[in-house]
Amino acid sequence: MISQQFEYSAPATLQEALDLLANEGAKPLAGGMSLIPMMKLRLAAPEQLIDIGRLRELNYIRREGEQMHIGAGTTHWDVESSPIVRAHCPLLSETVSNIGDIQVRNRGTIGGSAAHADPSADYPAAFCALEAQFKLVKKGGERVVGASDFFVDMLTTALESGEIIAEVIVPVEQRGTGVSYQKCVQPASGFAIVGVAVRVSSEFVRIGVTGLGAKAYRATNAEEIYTSTHDAAKAAAVVADGADSNSDIHASASYRKHLARIYTQRALKEAASRMG
Amino acid sequence: MQTTIHVTINGKKRSDTVEPRLLLIHYLRETVGLTGPHIGCETSICGACTVNVDGKAIKSCAMFAVQANGCDVLTIEGLARDGKLDPMQQAFWNEHGLQCGFCTPGMIMTAKQILERNPHPTEAEIRDGLGGNLCRCTGYQHIVNAVKAVAAGKGA
Ligand SMILES: Cc1cc2nc3c(=O)[nH]c(=O)nc-3n(C[C@H](O)[C@H](O)[C@H](O)COP(=O)(O)OP(=O)(O)OC[C@H]3O[C@@H](n4cnc5c(N)ncnc54)[C@H](O)[C@@H]3O)c2cc1C
Ligand code: FES
Ligand code: FES
């Protein structure tokens, strides 16, 4: 039993969930892999939990033309084990297999990870490199927000009160694109001290960085240098420039920046070797 | 506020009225009386509380009992059949995969999931798969050996 009391509802439909979430003090519960630990630590104290983790309507992986649509309630394991994701968005498969452990991946969801916006979470690096779009819904409204606007600050996103992520939209990877996710693991928690996701082809390069600052970001300066020089070391050298680096007992700000440069170089090289 | 939940635990159906804030591990240990799943950390790190819900290994200290409403729960107590140990349990015995035994119920539930998904894992895959289960006694080697033995058909 945890200390705080709350009400719990398990709505049968998304519409019902959105109606309930319009109440002041209501919070969505998906896999619970971040929210329940936060509640135990009394960092979160919702009055009402709306269990969206059981909604079939939020649990799907579909390819539509040149885009992949992944329901927010899709678990890490369902993404990791999906042949469609492996074939069309290998960066997500690779990134998600780095999250936590089997038990966490069995319950944690893609929408929950995005909404929680932990500065050390793995998915956000891939979301930035993929320029993912988030379909957000609330009672009486729907909008689409891109990753660069969605992540606002540490544990803070563009989500408004009563609004949830319904779907994550990412591009189908074209032939000739190589991808890689390179993570420096914090061994006790499994989270990323720094994680770098890269997509590279003969036409473009995208670099997403997590763990370094308060929020994941796309390193456009490093992308520009790589585009003009094709030199992984030169591009990696600027990846942390201007970033307001986190500093904690696991890694100081300057060491984090150093790690970001090293892991960017590794990710660029590996992605380039997979361009095929 | 109380909620009534209906769950199947180790093949037996039951209904209980619980508070939403009751964690699944506390429900299993204190309400149902199944003390096989252990509480090591209660912070979703150690894996001692691992049970299987609807075919998936999960940490029952990171789930509320109400979230298991309508689900099929399998704990370590549900593995042996007619007094005969499950092959994974037998392999832990044969290979000395435990010392104090505190981590064992969780280790076994996770180990079974690893092999269900990947019947012939490499040693690295076994170690990675057991990443969410901590053991303070064995140094893991004998646990890994037990999982390998089952994969090689040497459990029973
Ligand atoms: C032991 C452990 C290790 C972990 N290791 C890692 C790791 O290495 N890397 C990593 O990236 N993560 C890690 N995690 C976190 C994990 O990935 C979580 O699953 C994820 O951050 C949250 O997803 P969830 O579905 O469990 O969300 P919940 O915990 O249910 O919710 C998290 C937050 O998001 C909100 N929310 C949930 N779904 C939605 C939605 N659809 N729309 C709007 N808001 C929503 C909730 O209200 C809450 O505020 C770990 C967790 C644990 C317990
Ligand atoms: S008691 Fe649940 S993970 Fe440690
Ligand atoms: S046998 Fe003692 S903790 Fe694993």
- Report whether residue A28 contacts ligand 1, using a CB cutoff of 6 Å: yes
For residue B13, the Cα-to-chain-centroid distance in whole angstroms is 19
Rounded distance, CA A215 to CA A246, Å?
Answer: 10
- Contact residues on chain B for A100, CB-CB shorter than 8 A: 132
The predicted model gives B134-149 an average pLDDT of 97
Rounded distance, CA B47 to CA B98, Å?
Answer: 15
The predicted model gives B77-91 an average pLDDT of 96
- pLDDT-based confidence at A217, cuts 50/70/90? very high
In CATH terms, the superfamily for domain B87-151 is: [2Fe-2S]-binding domain (1.10.150.120)
- Sequence ranges of the domains in chain A: 7-51, 57-171, 178-273
Q: Which fold has domain A7-51?
A: 3.30.43
How many CB pairs lie under 8 A apart between chains A and B?
79
Which CATH code of 3.30.70.1520, 1.20.58.1880, 3.10.20.30, 3.90.550.10 fits the domain covering B3-77?
Answer: 3.10.20.30
Kindly state whether A56 is in contact with chain B, defined as any CB-CB distance less than 8 angstroms.
no
Say if the ipTM goes beyond 0.90: yes
Q: Chain A: nearest CA to B133, how far in angstroms?
A: 9
Q: Which fold has domain A57-171?
A: 3.30.465
- Sequence ranges of the domains in chain B: 3-77, 87-151
What is the maximal distance between C-alpha atoms in chain A? 58
Q: Residues A85, A68: contact at Cβ < 8 Å? A: yes
Nearest CA to ligand 2 atom 3: B44
**How confident is the model at residue A28, as a pLDDT?**
98
Average pLDDT score over chain B: 96
Rounded distance, CA A204 to CA A259, Å?
Answer: 24
Pocket of ligand 2 (CB under 6 A): B 39-42, 44-49, 59, 61
pTM above 0.95, yes or no: yes
Q: Which CATH class is domain A178-273?
A: alpha beta
**How confident is the model at residue B156, as a pLDDT?**
56
Q: Residue A260: in which H helix or E strand, if any?
A: helix A253-273
Atom of ligand 3 nearest to the CA of B100: 2
B122, A77, A81, B128: CA torsion to nearest 10:
-10
Atom of ligand 2 nearest to the CA of B61: 2
Q: B23: CA distance to ligand 2 center in Å?
A: 11
